[in-house]
A and B are shown apart, each in its own frame.
Chain A
């Protein structure tokens, strides 16, 4: 079909379906979109799928959440429970808790949907977090993806906000205790804290307004912003194209993988149902947030084992770790007649503040240190960026110490140790854990790099011992095939960048700081085996040690 004929004679499909499809296509341009997106190439790796899991969990959250809104009533008016759960029969409670109980016991499929909603919420934040860890440890946040990293960070905070507002809605004892802690944290903020608390709760805690307000945030504002952020996030993924792990034939100028249509799209669609199935299975067989156990909220009782959902746990843990007094040193002061409670303010806001500040600024910190302004589409293997990996693991360890502290009472009862000892150990680990994790991780990464180098140069140990005619025993090393060797040698090993004077010939103070950090970042490095070294190793034959090349520096410690 020539160009002129298509211009002159409009295309007429032969079948009825064809004509109908053509009618739609000419008006919405579907085939163009499909041509563009269907050819979008995605590399295949299991670790690339956590973002997808988070997206699917979010879709399931929207669907199950919509079902729940049909039956949930966010009113804090008082009522007496008349439903079918007898241990709470005729107990005075809020309408919100009453309707949550009705969803659980008197709405067909209600308990299942509640559990689907809650399990998928936990999975949503969990998969989102793992996705972020993957992005961090592979260096996928580097140019041009810094902005998308920030969008991801915003999504994490929004996910936590969505989770917390939802956790509070049933108005049971557990969620009320959680709200009370939030109220305490807000009130610990100097000067404005009390005002914010009274504004948020519509008066003194708990008031009669908070559930309705949280409900609006939970079902309207927060999910809307999450959806917006997801759209921006995915749009940027399309613009930037997907990153890929290093391998033969892969570079910063291409994407090696499968096109979206048809196989990849089918796989992704099927994966949605797998995620849905896993969540449905959990919801059907494992109870989550049994609100009927906790009873209606009343500010007086507090249950043992009161914890927030896992993603707020680290803040709760930090609060638990904070000592009230250290010897005679108090953390609570009266300043101009106002109470300043540092033992609430510090643990509640500082660790989370540090964590998120570092998280949001890290791409720029690394960019400043490395002065690297190139685009990166090929990922780093975590071992090939030892300092970054060590920083990540240190942060992760810090988070986990606080996370564990949120379950300190359960650690004590289940491992038969004293609660005080658990707290003392975790307090020590709060400070020492990240340092230890940094050192250990960096050493492990360097050791793995050395192992890679060794294998690249001498091949794989076969375990086959051969005795030579003159009596010497050697182990036979099998050479690697070129594809495998590429993985071990085809990476970029950054070296410390010394301070350089600016255009006026002055080495500024910030440049000196940058140079010092660069040294700290890259002074311990294992350079990949160079072609010359590989050549030499092959010429030497099997197992003779190749001494470190000229470009391998300062591996003294």
Chain B
């Protein structure tokens, strides 16, 4: 503090102060506007969104999904899949698909947020389907313990109890759920992407989904209380570790202990 107070009469002090003030107000403004945008995004789409989305769709998606999203032999019809499906598939980079395979892989997004919204608006305009979840369902303030129970009963058999992911048949898999946004988790539950079943609001209520997201975010934030988690893969990684690292270090010691005599 002493150093700071000594420099308060420095010729550039005023400039620095001004710069800090500008950064603060600018930053606050930026945050305020994005908050507004997010709200607008989840509520409704304008007619121009759907219009723009149609153009994007015809240029990028229609090859497989067909004109008017009516489907071809290479891709399913998207009438009635809803905005949530588009937001999930395009928002996680799974669509447009890089190549055919057992399952669309997550990759860097190919469309920015605005384009994703426009595509979603267009597909949503084709027929009623699940919409993008409202903010209050994604606030991660639900009941984590209840979410944990729902997760273990409904999700853990594929995604693993610690959400570390798991294998399905013939190259398909349930991905790990770390680093997945609450919005995408919610959308996945209501739309059932790839090989995932649909968990509609009759199966798991919106509040239940909120609890599940709360649980997942909580265990992610909690980290691993017992030290490095070895991938949360259970006894296989533990066994591998004890054989390679544990026994390896011990063998090194046995060689050291007996090295002087031979």
**Nearest CB of chain B from residue A80's CB, rounded to whole Å:** 10
Q: Does A123 contact B (CB under 8 A)?
A: yes
Q: In the bound complex, do residue B167 and residue A310 qualify as a contact, i.e. CB atoms below 8 Å apart?
A: no
* Contact bitstring B162-206, A, C-beta under 8 A = 1, else 0: 101111111101100000000000000000000000000000000
Q: In the bound complex, do residue A290 and residue B232 qualify as a contact, i.e. CB atoms below 8 Å apart?
A: yes
Q: In the bound complex, do residue B225 and residue A104 qualify as a contact, i.e. CB atoms below 8 Å apart?
A: yes
**Nearest CB of chain A from residue B245's CB, rounded to whole Å:** 7
Q: In the bound complex, do residue A86 and residue B174 qualify as a contact, i.e. CB atoms below 8 Å apart?
A: no
Q: In the bound complex, do residue B174 and residue A304 qualify as a contact, i.e. CB atoms below 8 Å apart?
A: yes
Q: In the bound complex, do residue A285 and residue B171 qualify as a contact, i.e. CB atoms below 8 Å apart?
A: no
Identify which of A111, A284, A301 gathers the most chain B CB atoms within 10 Å of its CB. A301
Identify which of A123, A271, A310 gathers the most chain B CB atoms within 10 Å of its CB. A310
Pick the contact of A413: B166, B230, B249 (CB < 8 A): B166
Chain B neighbourhood of A289, CB < 8 A: 235, 238
CA distance A174 to B218 in the complex (A): 21
Q: In the bound complex, do residue A293 and residue B219 qualify as a contact, i.e. CB atoms below 8 Å apart?
A: yes
Pick the contact of A288: B166, B218, B226 (CB < 8 A): B226
Q: In the bound complex, do residue A417 and residue B161 qualify as a contact, i.e. CB atoms below 8 Å apart?
A: no
Q: Of the 9-residue stretches A32-40, A43-51, A66-74, A235-243, which lies at the interface with chain B?
A: A43-51
Q: In the bound complex, do residue B169 and residue A313 qualify as a contact, i.e. CB atoms below 8 Å apart?
A: no
Q: In the bound complex, do residue B238 and residue A122 qualify as a contact, i.e. CB atoms below 8 Å apart?
A: yes
CA distance A290 to B247 in the complex (A): 22
Q: In the bound complex, do residue A271 and residue B257 qualify as a contact, i.e. CB atoms below 8 Å apart?
A: yes
Interface size, chain A (Cβ < 8 Å): 73
Is the contact region of chain A dominated by helix, strand, or loop, or is it mixed? helix
Pick the contact of A87: B148, B156, B241 (CB < 8 A): B148
Q: Does A191 contact B (CB under 8 A)?
A: no
Pick the contact of A49: B102, B148, B257 (CB < 8 A): B257
Q: In the bound complex, do residue A303 and residue B157 qualify as a contact, i.e. CB atoms below 8 Å apart?
A: yes
Residue of A nearest to B144 (CB): A87
Q: In the bound complex, do residue B247 and residue A130 qualify as a contact, i.e. CB atoms below 8 Å apart?
A: yes
* Contact bitstring A372-408, B, C-beta under 8 A = 1, else 0: 0000000000000000000000000000000000111
Q: In the bound complex, do residue B158 and residue A285 qualify as a contact, i.e. CB atoms below 8 Å apart?
A: no
Q: Does A119 contact B (CB under 8 A)?
A: yes
Q: In the bound complex, do residue A290 and residue B226 qualify as a contact, i.e. CB atoms below 8 Å apart?
A: yes
Q: In the bound complex, do residue B161 and residue A173 qualify as a contact, i.e. CB atoms below 8 Å apart?
A: yes
Q: Does A465 contact B (CB under 8 A)?
A: no
Q: In the bound complex, do residue B247 and residue A310 qualify as a contact, i.e. CB atoms below 8 Å apart?
A: no
Chain A neighbourhood of B245, CB < 8 A: 282
CA distance A283 to B245 in the complex (A): 13
**Nearest CB of chain B from residue A280's CB, rounded to whole Å:** 12
Q: In the bound complex, do residue B250 and residue A419 qualify as a contact, i.e. CB atoms below 8 Å apart?
A: no
Q: Does B108 contact A (CB under 8 A)?
A: no
Q: Would you list 13 pairs from A and B whose C-beta atoms are within 8 A, ordered by A residue? A: A87-B218, A91-B148, A123-B247, A274-B250, A283-B227, A285-B227, A290-B226, A302-B156, A303-B160, A305-B234, A308-B235, A408-B167, A413-B165
